[in-house]
Amino acid sequence: MAHRYKSYKVYRVIVLNLLVQALDINIYQKNLEEKLDHILKNADYEITKSHIRHEIRSNHKMTEKVLDELQKEGLIELVTREKTTLVRITKKGILHLQKWNRFYMDLYKEQIIDHYRYVGLPKWFREAYHGEEQ
């Protein structure tokens, strides 16, 4: 059976979580907002458009759409460095995810499980349910 295309909204959640994972922080920790400026200032991660495309395993058009929507919402920013485009999560993006991630996980649970069925669920998916315990 053909693999159905997912809505860009599912990919949007995947991209935000991928960026937070690259930042290596627990978004469910207490007083996160106060620490964010410092964390973002010292962030040293390189997620490019190609990484995003690889993660969502869709086409160029979908990758562009997802990044465009996230950028418009102010949840990410795109930084051009030499020939590559780096994707960075913003403070607003992290706080948005902190507030809504569990809701998104419940809403898109089936699609996310389907998306990762051959490679195993990512750490961020499991953490969404156990985050506060850490």
CB-wise, 58 or 91, nearer to other proteins? 58
Q: How far apart are CA 90 and CA 82, in angstroms?
A: 21
CB-wise, 2 or 130, nearer to other proteins? 2
Supply the minimum distance, in Å, between the C-beta of residue 120 and other proteins: 11
Furthest CA-CA distance within the chain: 48
Considering only residues 1 to 20 of the shown chain, the ones binding other proteins according to CB under 8 A are 5
Supply the minimum distance, in Å, between the C-beta of residue 5 and other proteins: 4
Considering only residues 46 to 85 of the shown chain, the ones binding other proteins according to CB under 8 A are 59-61, 65
CB-wise, 21 or 58, nearer to other proteins? 58
Q: How far apart are CA 41 and CA 74, in angstroms?
A: 17
CB-wise, 2 or 133, nearer to other proteins? 2
Supply the minimum distance, in Å, between the C-beta of residue 27 and other proteins: 30
Supply the minimum distance, in Å, between the C-beta of residue 3 and other proteins: 9
Number of Cβ atoms within 10 Å of the Cβ of 74: 12
Q: How many residues bind other proteins (CB under 8 A)?
A: 5
Residue 56 belongs to what H/E stretch?
A: helix 49-56
Q: CB within 8 A of 112, min separation 6: which ones?
A: 10, 13, 14, 105, 121, 125
Contact 43, 77 (CB under 8 A): no
Which residues are at the interface with other proteins (CB under 8 A)? 5, 59-61, 65
